[in-house]
């Protein structure tokens, strides 16, 4: 009887693996503490907090961009707003750890240069509005570009990376909360401006309401959703430079519709395409392949081997 009890104690003292708690139960407890639901997705409260942080930067970037059009010309606004790709690249280097390469910097400058060429071509062929306060308008355009770089970096930094196992997030839910907080925070400001007769509201016709709704659905909702997904799937620099693809697309559409643009438009479109292609050239492929080759070797060397202890060996012999 005593030997039987000693044998049981030896078994308990040995490295025998006992059945643990169910994996789903452990994951559910851990995920709830991390702000994840049972399916590994971010909770609404966690998504709302990120939207609340991004909201003011998004709003003031749009506000300064539209205000600049009141004081400066469309050409100056377009040229200075194109610096957002450079600002985004610099901010990503500091806060997102993006790798710096001369090819990427030159490609960003090419995207900016193509936009500037097209803007100058359009300004020479169309009547441009007179700038009432060009210095203030130019400053607002630059501020808008900087704020854009800030909030696009916040989106990439705060939202999870699914490849690293940080959970999944609904981009539509994030943008929905972003619109909700914009309305809650800044609609009272608009009402106060209306009552003070600084920015009075005007009655809209049903045609104008329909155009506004259509523009919001196609331009703000759909395009912002695809743009936000691009930020999540690529990098902030690639997503920002991708917005300049509208330059060659516009040139192609104008050519197909019988409104051939100026030759500078084609040059600017080609410059944008070369720049966007250069940004998408991977710069860390050799390092990644080298790491993939070294990983199995490290795993084989570092894998611990559990040898039987002296006490277990004695028990087996006895």
**What's the pLDDT tens digit per position in 69-113?**
888 887 788 888 888 889 999 999 988 888 888 988 999 998 888
More confident residue, 161 or 180: 180
pLDDT at residue 204, rounded to an integer: 80
Tell me: pLDDT of 130 over 50: yes
| Tokens describing residue 240 | 């920002």
Provide the 3-class DSSP secondary structure of residue 91.
helix
pLDDT level of residue 284 (50, 70, 90 thresholds): low
Tokens 């071509």 label which residue?
A: 121
**pLDDT for residue 123:** 67
CA atoms within 13 A on the CB side of 188: 3
- Express as a percent the part of the chain with pLDDT over 70: 71
Residue 297: pLDDT band (50, 70, 90) is very low
Q: For the ranges 7-21, 93-107, 286-300, which has the lowest average pLDDT?
A: 286-300
Give CA torsion, residues 214, 215, 220, 222, to 10 deg. Answer: 50
Task: Return the closest-CA partner of residue 108 out of 232, 265, 242.
Answer: 242
Per-residue pLDDT at 20: 47
| Cα–Cα distance list, 280 to 85, 102, 156, 240 (Å) | 14, 13, 17, 12
* pLDDT of 260 higher than 50: yes
**H or E stretch covering 185:** helix 171-195
Flag the least confident range among 81-90, 166-175, 276-285: 276-285
d(CA 289, CA 281): 16
- 203 vs 93, residue with greater confidence: 93
For range 122-151, the mean pLDDT: 80
> Looking at the predicted structure, is the pLDDT value of residue 301 above 80?
no
Return all residues near 145 (Cβ < 8 A) that are at least 6 apart.
80, 81, 82, 83, 84, 87
Kindly tell me if the per-residue pLDDT of 40 is higher than 80: no
d(CA 248, CA 113): 13
Q: Report the pLDDT value the prediction gives residue 257, as an integer from 0 to 100.
A: 81
């Amino acid at each position: 009887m005593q030997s039987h009890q000693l044998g049981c104690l030896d078994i308990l003292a040995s490295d025998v693996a006992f059945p643990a708690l169910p994996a789903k139960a452990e994951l559910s407890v851990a995920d709830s503490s991390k702000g994840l639901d049972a399916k590994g997705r971010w909770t609404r409260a966690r998504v709302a907090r990120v939207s609340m942080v991004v909201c003011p930067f998004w709003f003031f970037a749009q506000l300064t961009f539209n205000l600049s059009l009141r004081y400066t010309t469309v050409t100056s606004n377009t040229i200075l707003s194109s610096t957002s790709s450079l600002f985004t690249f610099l901010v990503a280097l500091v806060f997102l750890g993006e790798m710096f390469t001369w090819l990427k910097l030159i490609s960003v400058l090419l995207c900016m240069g193509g936009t500037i060429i097209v803007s100058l071509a359009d300004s020479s062929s169309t009547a441009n509005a007179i700038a009432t306060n060009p210095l203030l308008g130019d400053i607002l355009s630059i501020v808008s570009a900087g704020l854009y770089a800030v909030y696009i970096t916040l989106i990439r930094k705060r939202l999870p990376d699914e490849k690293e196992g940080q959970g999944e997030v609904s981009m539509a839910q994030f943008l929905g909360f972003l619109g909700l907080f914009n309305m809650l925070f800044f609609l009272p400001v608009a009402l106060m401006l209306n009552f003070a007769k600084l920015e009075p509201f005007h009655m809209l016709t049903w045609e104008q309401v329909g155009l506004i709704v259509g523009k919001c659905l196609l331009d703000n909702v759909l395009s912002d959703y695809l743009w936000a997904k691009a930020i999540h799937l690529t990098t902030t620099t690639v997503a920002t430079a991708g917005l300049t693809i509208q330059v060659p697309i516009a040139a192609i559409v104008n050519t197909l519709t019988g409104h051939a643009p100026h030759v500078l438009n084609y040059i600017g479109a080609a410059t944008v395409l070369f720049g966007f292609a250069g940004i998408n050239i991977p710069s860390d492929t050799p390092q990644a392949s080298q790491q993939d080759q070294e990983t199995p070797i490290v795993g084989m060397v570092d894998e611990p081997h559990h040898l039987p202890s002296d006490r277990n060996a004695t028990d087996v012999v006895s």
